[in-house]
């Protein structure tokens, strides 16, 4: 890797670490503003002495600065604390739920790419026709429809009325179909629109006309020459959308009772289990930072114009 690439990645890494610190600080502050967790743990009938004893046991009676430094030290040493609700290490809880979320995100992104890329290429190669307008309309609808509402409509149609697929839970490939389709809608629309824009720009380049003038067939020009040179922005949006889905699958997991990280985060919020909420936020922020860094590395290595 060249020195310019190392400098660029180092600069970007410093910027991302600053963003990560801000995200972690916000998670800490919001956890303290969410209310007294001893109410959720001990119930409303507990005496003040019992609450004070539990606050002391949890370290909530320490000054906020001390709690914040303990929180950051724990993150640096890989200790994300213990859940107030499950009485287990937060890293164990996240490790148990992560495979479900990864499974859902992988299926959703695969579907988004398989539909979004051909849709964008179709619109770009038939620009101005009804094919273009139809593909653009589908992409616009995909970005406009609320994910929560779309998931509920799929459940009502395919699970309740037709009875073809299960409405929730996990365990079989059939359980994955509806949540994966719901998860794929928004990234599919973004991929389709970006593919169309990138392909349209590439197809207007002189070397594409030159390839056609040499007698190359249309499909070969589109996929071997134009699509190959349009892949970088598409790859970028796929990586970034994967990070967004990993850290934001709460609504979909809630609709389908999918036992992933989003469902775990909701349970933690309802119980005011702020150590677990903080741990999930830390995981999501780290994932997003690493994926952003991966995008920068790919750009620096593949595209010489950004070095």
Length of the chain equals 307
pLDDT at 110: 93
pLDDT at 188: 92
Residue 170 pLDDT more than 80? no
Residue 81 pLDDT more than 60? yes
Are 289 and 282 a contacting pair, CB within 8 Å? no
How many Cβ atoms are within 10 Å of 215's Cβ, its own excluded?
A: 6
**How many angstroms separate the Cα of 33 from the Cα of each of 24, 71, 284, 307?**
14, 16, 20, 43
pLDDT at 303: 63
pLDDT at 302: 66
Residue 98 pLDDT more than 60? yes
pLDDT at 5: 64
- Partners of 89 in the β-ladder: 82
pLDDT at 181: 92
Token pair 């992104």 in the structure block, residue: 109
pLDDT at 114: 94
User: How does pLDDT run across 130-154, given as a tens digit for each residue?
Assistant: 888 888 888 888 888 888 888 889 9
Query: Tokens in use for 80?
Result: 């994300």
User: Which of these, 279, 270, 193, 264, lies nearest to 233 by C-alpha position?
Assistant: 193
145-154, 203-212, 290-299 — most confident range: 145-154
Tell me phi and psi for residue 89, to 5 degrees. -65, 135
Query: Tokens in use for 200?
Result: 């349209």
Query: Which residues, 6+ apart, have CB-to-CB distance to 138 below 8 Å?
Result: 119, 189, 192
User: How does pLDDT run across 221-233, given as a tens digit for each residue?
Assistant: 788 778 878 888 8
pTM for this predicted structure: 0.80
**How many angstroms separate the Cα of 222 from the Cα of each of 86, 118, 188?**
54, 11, 20
Residue 304 pLDDT more than 70? no
In the chain, which residue ranges form alpha helices assigned H by DSSP?
Answer: 3-33, 37-42, 48-58, 64-76, 90-125, 130-144, 147-154, 173-203, 206-213, 218-220, 227-229, 231-247, 250-255, 261-270, 274-302
pLDDT at 47: 80
């Amino acid at each position: 890797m060249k020195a310019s690439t190392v400098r660029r990645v180092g600069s970007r890494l410093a910027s991302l670490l600053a963003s990560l610190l801000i995200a972690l600080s916000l998670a800490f502050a919001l956890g303290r503003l969410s209310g007294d967790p001893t109410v959720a743990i001990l119930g409303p009938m507990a005496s003040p002495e019992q609450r004070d004893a539990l606050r002391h046991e949890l370290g909530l009676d320490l000054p906020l600065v001390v709690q914040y430094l303990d929180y950051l030290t724990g993150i640096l040493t890989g200790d994300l604390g213990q859940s107030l609700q499950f009485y287990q290490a937060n890293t164990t809880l996240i490790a148990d739920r992560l495979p479900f979320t990864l499974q859902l995100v992988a299926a959703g992104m695969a579907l988004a790419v398989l539909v979004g890329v051909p849709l964008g290429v179709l619109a770009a190669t038939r620009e101005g026709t009804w094919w273009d307008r139809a593909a653009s309309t589908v992409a616009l609808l995909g970005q406009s429809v609320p994910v929560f509402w779309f998931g509920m409509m799929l459940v009502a149609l395919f699970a309740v009325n037709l009875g073809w697929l299960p409405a929730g839970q996990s365990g079989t490939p059939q359980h994955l179909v509806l949540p994966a389709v719901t998860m794929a809608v928004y990234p599919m629309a973004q991929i389709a629109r970006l593919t169309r824009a990138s392909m349209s720009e590439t197809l207007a380049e002189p070397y594409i006309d030159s390839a056609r003038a040499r007698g190359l067939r249309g499909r070969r020009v589109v996929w071997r020459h134009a699509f190959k040179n349009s892949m970088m922005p598409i790859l970028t949006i796929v990586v970034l959308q994967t990070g967004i889905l990993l850290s934001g699958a709460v609504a979909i997991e809630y609709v389908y009772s999918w036992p992933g990280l989003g469902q775990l985060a909701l349970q933690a919020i309802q119980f005011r289990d702020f150590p677990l909420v903080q741990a999930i936020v830390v995981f999501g922020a780290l994932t997003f930072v690493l994926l952003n860094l991966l995008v920068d590395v790919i750009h620096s290595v593949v595209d010489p114009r950004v070095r």
